Structure formats: structure tokens, C-alpha cells
Amino acid sequence: MPRRWLAPEFFTDEKMKKAIVAERLLAAAIIANQDDDGRLKGDPAYLRSIAFLYDDYSLDEVRKMRDHLIQVNPNIILYENAGDEYIQLKRYKRYQKPRYYHASKFPAPPGWPFEEEQLRSDYKGDVERDIQYEIANKLKSGQWQPTNEEIINVEINKRLGNLYADIFATTSKAHILIEIKQYPLQFRDLGQIIDYRTEAEARGYMPITAFLIGKGLGNLSLDEALSASVTPLNLDLTPIKSVAPTRDHVTATTSDDVGLTIKPVRATMVTTGKGKNLDLDKSQDIRMPSASVAAGGVAGAEVRAQSKPKTRLKPRQQEAGIFLDMVEHHIGVSLVERPSLIGKIRNLLVKNPAATPEGLFECFTWLKVNDSFCRSRDSPTVLKTLPSKYPEWAAGKLAAPGGKEERYARAGEHRQHIESDRKPYEWEEAPDETDTS
């Protein structure tokens, strides 16, 4: 059972001054033994076992303490179901924040959830966690069936590699991935759920239906979400209507599908609000590919919304941005980790003066197809590996026909050649020692 938090206010609560010391100990035991939904058994035998294991209280005495405790503390509710007694704590979410939620095995009290349970905290994490549990309960109870199929299993904070998906549900035919935000949906949220889906597919969870739930649309458009096979929903689980994204279309760049030649018209790198700012001024530039890019439509069309004038770039930083533009056009989505990746690519270009964005892109696509390590990895992982792989590829070792298999074959031929050059060992016949006399 996970550890429970006993707030310091417990000892100074005005309601508890009417309870005797033994009843306060019983209240602490109830808090410590509640499940993730604030429930536990309420029969006196169980309460005695968790609170008074080393005392000689009778069942009648424990029952009286329990009933009096419920009278002085309205946060504790006693109810019956099928002849068994249970206890429900009303405001358990205010104090207990389990990282991995497990639904209660005990039945809910009549009239659940109560009005106090609907209260939302002012903290962002608490709000999203409450919404997360509410949607998970609707999935488990069958109140909401997003794919019109019966839900078999529901997991909260599903671990996918180093990522944790808000809700991961399973039906008889497919899987459902849900990411929840309490604010209007942003384009970076689309990249986040796409990363979750990629990690899930790499682990054999297919097919996957993805839902992005938020308070309407921010700078994410409905076309961009649907083109990435992600369905956006409101917090009340109703479909989001199409509205224009809140961003200014200022400039555009285009690319040639055949030659993959990018013609940049910008010189300002863009930040996403996370991590360091690449030694640029903290501009609020928003870089968003248009819906046609995500849908694979007009080749390489992109939009830029710039709020500050051009800033001086580091050496070869613009070429690194051009390369990442080519990668984003190739995979059809924006890279969430672009600010951290651009520094690695710039250092690679500086260390290899002959390197070009086109050469880096050729190396990237070759690794995605032929390299055994990169073949099963997502694009950001391949880009992080690129600095160590590029020198070999540029030298022609990786790019040789047949790749590693041919190199192994050449190594085998070399070993055979060495073996053939060795002089065979000459055996000397031992003299016949047989006595012929």
C-alpha cells in the first residue's frame, strides 16, 4: 500500500478537540489505510486490527469510538453495501496525491461524488489529476466509450519508456491513448501525444486511437490535429469545433520535393518556452508548420510568427535550422526537442566543415533505414545519435553497399587471406622403433 500524507493541520483541527485520544489515533489509522479513492473497510474488527493491535479494546468500544468520530468529523462517512460497512473520506484528494492511481475495490457510497469532491484546487497539477481520475472512472464504468467499444482495462500514468501517458485504455481490438490539458491546446501538446503514441507503437500497442483533451484550441488548429490522426476534445468530452489558431502568419518558406532544397527566409531561431534559449534574446517567436505540412500536402510549406527583429546567430546555426526543417518536413510533424537538438547539430557542422544540411539529411534517412540501432528508434533519438554516426557515414564506411554486413564479409575475407599466408606445420614422422631382429 502506498504511503499516506498526514497533514500537520490534523493535530490542530477544531473538530478533533471533541474526540478523545483513542479516537484521534483511530482517525490517523483511517487516513493511513485508505485506498486511492479514499475508501476502506468500516467494520469494528478491521478498524481494531489497524489502530489498536496492541490494546485490549472490545469490538463494542471500537464501534462507539468510530461512531463518535464520524459525528465530530463530517469528512468521514460510514455507509453500507450488501451488508458490509465501509468508510469514505470526502476530501482525500486535497491531501493524497498518488503517482500511480489504482481504482478502489470497494463500492462507492450513495450519491458519489459529493459536492466537496467536485471542488478543484488552484494548482495546475491537482486540476489535471482530478480531471484525469474523473475521465478514467467514466471509462471504467462505461459512461464514455470513445471508440464505441467495451473498455477492458484502464491505466493511469502509463509508463512508455521515459514517458508517462495520462490515460491508456485497452479494448478488445485496439488501444486508446489520452492526454489531458487544463488550458487551450497548443501545438507542442500535439507533439507530446505523438511521442507517446510512437513509444507505445514501438512496444507493440497497435492500433492506437489518440485523443487530446483540453479547454478548446489555442495555437493548435483542428486540421493539424486531425491530419496527425489525433482527435481533440473539450474537457466535457465533446468534439472541438474548428476555430482559427491564435497566431499571425507572417512569412513562409518552401522546399523542393525532388532536391530537398530549403530556401530560408528567416534568420531568427525560435524557442518553445522550455530549456535554454540558445543564447538568443528570450523572444516569444512561435514556430508552427502549417496543416499542409503535417498532412503531407504542399511540399515544405511553413509559417513563422515573429515578435522580434532578427538576432545574430552562432556559426552554422542557420544551417542547423535548415537541416531540422528538412527533417520535420520528412516526418510530417514539428520536433518538440528542437531547441536542444539544434545545438548538437550546429556543433556537428562546426566540427565537419564539409558537412551540409543536405548531407546530414542523407545520413539521417540512411540511418533510419539501414542502421540496426536507429531503425527501431524515433526521429529525435536518431538525431541525437547523428553526431557519433556521421563521421563514419561521411568516410564511406556506413554508406558502403550492404552496410555492416558487407564490412563483416570483407573482414572474413581478410582473415581467410591471413590464414592462407601462413606456412602449414610440417609434421616429422617418428622413427619406427619396432624391433625387427
Give pLDDT, residue 433. 59
Given a contact cutoff of 8 angstroms between Cβ atoms, the answer to whether 206 and 175 are in contact is yes
Region 354-359 average pLDDT: 88
Higher pLDDT, 117 or 134: 134
Q: C-alpha dihedral over 192, 195, 196, 201, to 10 degrees?
A: 160
Q: Quick one: CA torsion of 354, 356, 359, 365, rounded to 10 degrees?
A: 140
Cα–Cα distance for residue pair 63/77, rounded to 1 Å = 14
Residue 66 has a pLDDT of 93
Kindly report, residue by residue over 1-51, the tens digit of the pLDDT. 567 778 787 888 888 888 899 999 999 999 889 888 889 999 999 999 999
Average pLDDT along the chain:
75
Q: For residue 221, what pLDDT is reported?
A: 87
First to last CA, the chain: 95
What is the mean predicted confidence (pLDDT) over 188-210?
A: 88
Region 157-181: mean pLDDT is 88
Q: In this model, does residue 59 exceed pLDDT 90?
A: yes
- Average pLDDT (98-126) is 63
Q: Which residue has the higher pLDDT, 314 or 370?
A: 370
Per-residue model confidence as pLDDT tens digits over 81-97: 889 999 998 877 767 77
What tens digit of pLDDT does each residue of 387-431 get?
888 888 888 767 555 555 555 555 555 555 555 555 555 555 556
Distance from the Cα of residue 421 to its chain's centroid: 58
Q: Give the pLDDT band (50/70/90) at residue 434.
A: low
Separation CA 214–CA 73 (nearest Å): 36
Assign domain 124-234 one CATH number from 1.25.50.10, 3.40.640.10, 1.10.10.60, 3.40.1350.10: 3.40.1350.10
223 pLDDT band (50/70/90 cuts)?
Answer: confident
Yes or no: say if 175 and 168 are a contact pair by the CB < 8 Å rule.
yes
Task: Single out the residue of 197, 217, 222 nearest to residue 207, CA to CA.
Answer: 197
pLDDT at 218: 87
The HSE-up count of residue 107 (CA atoms within 13 Å, CB side) is 12
The pLDDT value given to residue 435: 57
3-state secondary structure 126-183: HHHHHHHHHHHHHHHHCCCCCCCCCEEEEEEEEEECCEEEEEEEEECCCEEEEEECCC
Domain with CATH 3.40.1350.10 in the chain: 124-234
Amino acid at 189: D
CB contact at 8 A, 36 and 91: no
pLDDT value, residue 211? 95
Q: Which of 187-191, 231-235, 248-252, 421-425 has the lowest average pLDDT? A: 248-252
Average pLDDT estimate for 174-181: 92
- 297-306, 329-338, 368-377: which range is least confident on average? 297-306
| Residue 370 backbone phi and psi in degrees, to 5 | -110, -30
Higher model confidence: residue 218 or residue 434?
218
Pick the CATH number of 8-93 from 1.10.10, 1.25.40, 1.10.1760, 1.25.60: 1.10.10
pTM score: 0.36
Confidence at residue 254, expressed as pLDDT on a 0 to 100 scale? 39
The pLDDT value given to residue 51: 92
Confidence band for 246, pLDDT divided at 50, 70 and 90: very low
Quick check: 192 and 179 in contact, CB under 8 A? Answer: yes
